[in-house]
Amino acid sequence: MTREMWDNGSGVQPLPHVVLIAEDDAATLAGWAAYVRDAGFSAVPAASFAEAHRLMAFVRPDVLVTDIRLGEYNGLQLVVQAGTLRPAPSVIVTSGYEDPVLVAEAARLGATFLLKPVQPSRLVALISEMVKTR
């Protein structure tokens, strides 16, 4: 897919890929968002399921990174919502618990599962690989 272009005054540049990060742990969210931005992506942090749910339709992410447990909600519900977007974003699901049922459900929905703690360099490398195929 061709990226949209914009002129930043120094010439026409492609818009950065958008990464929506849904994570209810504030420190993890801030850290991941900073690493994603530093890697050249547009990071859109969401501190709750409701916030991510609202943002998804507006920011049209290239990649969705979501924790499975988002308060009383399940991040897999965001994965299902993401699947209705066109084009659908690539998805990374994270959890501090290796629950085989949730891992299998994430895979069935087409998401990549990462067990926390996730090294930011690993997260950025995976995002980079995902956007290469877009």
Structure letter (DSSP) for residue 98? -
State mean pLDDT over 98-126: 95
pLDDT at residue 1 greater than cutoff 60: no
Structure tokens at 119: 């090294």
Does a structural domain hold residue 131?
no
Report residue 43 as tokens. Answer: 């990071």
pLDDT digit string (tens) for 8-59? 555 555 678 999 999 999 999 999 999 999 999 999 999 999 999 999 989 9
Does 20 reside within a domain? yes
11: in domain: no
Query: What is the extent of the structural domain holding 48?
Result: 16-117
Band the pLDDT of 2: cuts 50, 70, 90.
very low
Please enumerate in sequence order all residues whose Cβ is within 8 A of that of 56, keeping only pairs 6 or more positions apart, or say none: 20, 64, 78, 81, 82, 85
With CA atoms as reference, report the closest residue to 18 among 81, 80, 78, 87: 87
DSSP 8-state secondary structure symbol assigned to residue 40: T
